[in-house]
């Protein structure tokens, strides 16, 4: 049995982690921290297993090992990557597929992959093209400073879809921060459909992100 290390969990300070999510009615009586560690994370007997519990609220355990965190609640199973890399995302997908194989009778609704890329300061000019300066200027003149902007597109992709959100926020005292969320999603109540879709090569996911990112950040000739 894995050796448990239990810690109190503070509010997540890094909400922009990459993740794989399977939406469904997961049985938390089965998805205990030790079951997650042994069956999904392949933690061997005697190896440490890090478990976080919520401090000020009732919430699911977070089970972490080798850069991946598994969170199971009544409505979804989430595998987060601590590092924003396609290699770790590929491992997270493998764990999601393992969970689906181990619990094939779980009622499911959807599967998703979430990726976030932060934009650099030199990319803000391209991002600003997504909003009308006339409206922004009028709001500023009316003493209604804009704290956050968001542009959303939904694209068909591999029998599912990609929703990408471009965000820019500023507190008015520092350089604005901008980034883009990419949500890959397939909706189905058939476990096999979701498994087949999630088995897509991570290379295809990476290529789709690169293509969208290049179009969002493309420079327009004056």
Share of the chain above pLDDT 90, in %: 54
Quick check: 112 and 98 in contact, CB under 8 A?
Answer: no
Q: Find where tokens 């003149």 sit.
A: 141
Average pLDDT of the chain, as a whole number: 85
At residue 9, the pLDDT reads 46
Mean pLDDT of 97-121: 93
Q: Domain coordinates of the chain in residue numbers?
A: 1-6+15-106, 108-222
Given a cut of 80, whether residue 121 has pLDDT beyond it is no
Euclidean distance between CA atoms 97 and 78, whole angstroms: 12
Does pTM surpass 0.75?
yes
Maximum mean pLDDT: which of 10-19, 158-167, 213-222: 158-167
Given a cut of 90, whether residue 170 has pLDDT beyond it is no
Q: Within 10 Å of residue 174's Cβ, how many Cβ atoms?
A: 7
Strand partners, 156: 161
How does strand 48-54 pair with strand 19-24? unpaired
Quick check: 86 and 74 in contact, CB under 8 A?
Answer: no
Mean pLDDT of 65-71: 94
């Amino acid at each position: 049995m894995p050796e448990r290390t239990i810690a109190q969990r503070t509010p997540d300070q890094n909400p922009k982690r990459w993740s794989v999510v399977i939406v469904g009615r997961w049985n938390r009586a089965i998805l205990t921290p030790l079951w997650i560690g042994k069956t999904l994370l392949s933690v061997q007997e005697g190896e440490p297993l890090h478990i976080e519990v919520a401090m000020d609220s009732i919430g699911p355990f977070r089970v972490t090992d080798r850069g991946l965190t598994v969170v199971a609640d009544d409505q979804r199973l989430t595998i987060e990557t601590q590092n924003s890399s396609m290699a770790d995302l590929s491992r997270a997908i493998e764990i999601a597929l393992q969970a689906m194989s181990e619990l094939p009778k779980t009622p499911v609704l959807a599967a998703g992959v979430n990726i976030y890329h932060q934009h650099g300061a030199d990319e803000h000019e391209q991002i600003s093209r997504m909003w009308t300066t006339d409206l922004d200027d009028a709001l500023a003149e009316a003493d209604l400073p804009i704290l956050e902007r968001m542009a959303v597109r939904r694209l068909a992709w591999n029998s599912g879809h990609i929703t990408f959100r471009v965000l820019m926020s500023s507190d008015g005292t520092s350089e604005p921060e901008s980034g883009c969320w990419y949500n890959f999603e397939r909706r189905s109540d058939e476990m096999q459909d979701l498994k087949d879709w999630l088995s897509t090569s991570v290379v295809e996911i990476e290529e789709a992100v690169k293509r969208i990112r290049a179009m969002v950040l493309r420079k327009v000739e004056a």
